[in-house]
Each structure stands twice: as C-alpha cells, then as structure tokens.
Amino acid sequence: MTADQTEHAARSVGNGGWVVSYLPGRTLTIEQATAAMQAAEAISTISGLAQQVGLTALEAMGLAIADSPWEQPQPPGPRRFPWRR
C-alpha cells in the first residue's frame, strides 16, 4: 500500500498483519494500516499549509490543539437564577 503525498508505505506480512514504514515493530490490521497511511497523508497536507503561515506541521497541530478557539458570543436568553429550578 502506497500513498500519493508521502514516501511512507504499508506492506502485508501475512496472516492479516500489516506493517507501516513509520511505525516499526508494530503489526497492524488492514484497517489500522489504512488509517496510518491516511494519517501520513493528512500530515503531509498539514505540513504544506503550515509552511504557508511560517510554521512547522508540529507547531500548527500543537497550537490548534492547545489554544482555545475564540469564544462565541452567546445569544441573549432568559435569565436563570441558581436558586430556581
């Protein structure tokens, strides 16, 4: 199994097991190997996008995960009092 956007590959090792080039020592199912290959392609895409804003893929992913998005304004609604149910 090869990818279009990365040099990584997966290969069958028999008995339904697969190994992926960037996950040495792990034997995966076909579903897991496919997911790993899709992840490698997604990271390749993220890397290209991150470069456009002067970041590495790791920086972009880390910031997107760690930093909270801007708070969305809440629409006005009925006022709730904690002592009323």
For residue 32, give its domain range.
10-64
Domain count, the chain: 1
How far apart (Å, rounded) are the C-alpha atoms in residues 56 and 85?
Answer: 50
Question: 31 lies in a domain?
Answer: yes
Question: 82 lies in a domain?
Answer: no
Question: 57 lies in a domain?
Answer: yes
How far apart (Å, rounded) are the C-alpha atoms in residues 70 and 54?
Answer: 21
Render pLDDT for 57-76 as a digit per residue (tens, 0 to 9).
Answer: 999 999 998 877 777 777 77
51 versus 68: which is more confidently predicted?
51
Question: 72 lies in a domain?
Answer: no
Is the model's pLDDT at 82 over the cut of 90? no
Question: 35 lies in a domain?
Answer: yes
Question: 51 lies in a domain?
Answer: yes
pTM over 0.85: no
| CB of 3 closer than 8 Å to CB of 36 | no
